[in-house]
């Protein structure tokens, strides 16, 4: 079964969506971003071969899939390293097929594996086509969304 990755996205403003406490929060975020070189210097731990790196101004998500090759109809996990300022408190991982207007039939369980490290288990893509893989990073009362495409043939 072949798999092609979608193009790596450095999410433009439209793809890195924040939900949070409004103007005050945005100001705070901007201030934090000024000291948030942490995101730029984010590096994967030794032995973590990231499949892709997604980044916004002050959030970086590096992830890999286990097994590495995603196959239609086979469960897989997503292991993620999140660098964020302030640090991430929670991560949600989901996926959907925008053209078909449906998501997965399975809800992954997310476990924290240490500071900024998470694993989402129970993912399954049940069709070939374009899937949008979505990471919602919660930090400091805000949620920032990073997304990328995975094309399954």
Residues 69-98 that bind another protein (CB under 8 A): 72-73, 75
Residue 98 beta carbon to another protein: minimum distance, rounded to whole angstroms: 10
Residue 70 beta carbon to another protein: minimum distance, rounded to whole angstroms: 14
Looking at the Cβ atoms of 89 and 109, the one nearer to another protein is 109
| Cα(150)–Cα(133) distance, integer angstroms | 7
- Six token digits for residue 38: 């942490």
CA atoms within 13 A on the CB side of 61: 30
Residues 59 and 146: beta-carbon distance below 8 Å: yes
Stretch in the footprint of another protein (CB under 8 A) among 6-14, 26-34, 99-107, 133-141: 99-107
| Cα(20)–Cα(46) distance, integer angstroms | 33
Residue 9 beta carbon to another protein: minimum distance, rounded to whole angstroms: 24
11 prior amide bond cis, ω within 30: no
Site string (8-47) toward another protein, x via CB under 8 A: ----------------------------------------
Three-state secondary structure call for residue 37? helix
DSSP type of residue 20: S
Looking at the Cβ atoms of 2 and 12, the one nearer to another protein is 2
Binding stretches for another protein (CB under 8 A): 1-2, 72-73, 75, 99-102, 104-109, 121-122, 124, 126-129, 153
């Amino acid at each position: 079964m072949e798999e092609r990755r979608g193009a790596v996205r450095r999410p433009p403003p439209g793809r890195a969506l924040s939900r949070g406490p409004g103007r005050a929060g945005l100001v705070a975020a901007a201030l934090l971003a000024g000291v948030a070189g942490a995101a730029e210097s984010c590096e994967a731990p030794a032995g973590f071969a990231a499949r892709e790196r997604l980044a916004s101004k002050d959030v970086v998500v590096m992830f890999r899939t286990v097994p590495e090759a995603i196959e239609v109809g086979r469960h897989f996990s997503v292991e993620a390293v999140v660098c964020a300022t302030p640090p991430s408190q929670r991560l949600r991982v989901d996926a959907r097929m925008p053209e078909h207007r449906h998501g997965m039939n399975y809800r992954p369980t997310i476990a924290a594996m240490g500071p900024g490290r998470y694993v989402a288990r129970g993912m399954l893509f049940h069709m070939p086509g374009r899937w949008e893989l979505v990471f919602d990073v919660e930090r400091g009362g805000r949620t920032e969304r990073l997304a990328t495409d995975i094309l399954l043939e």
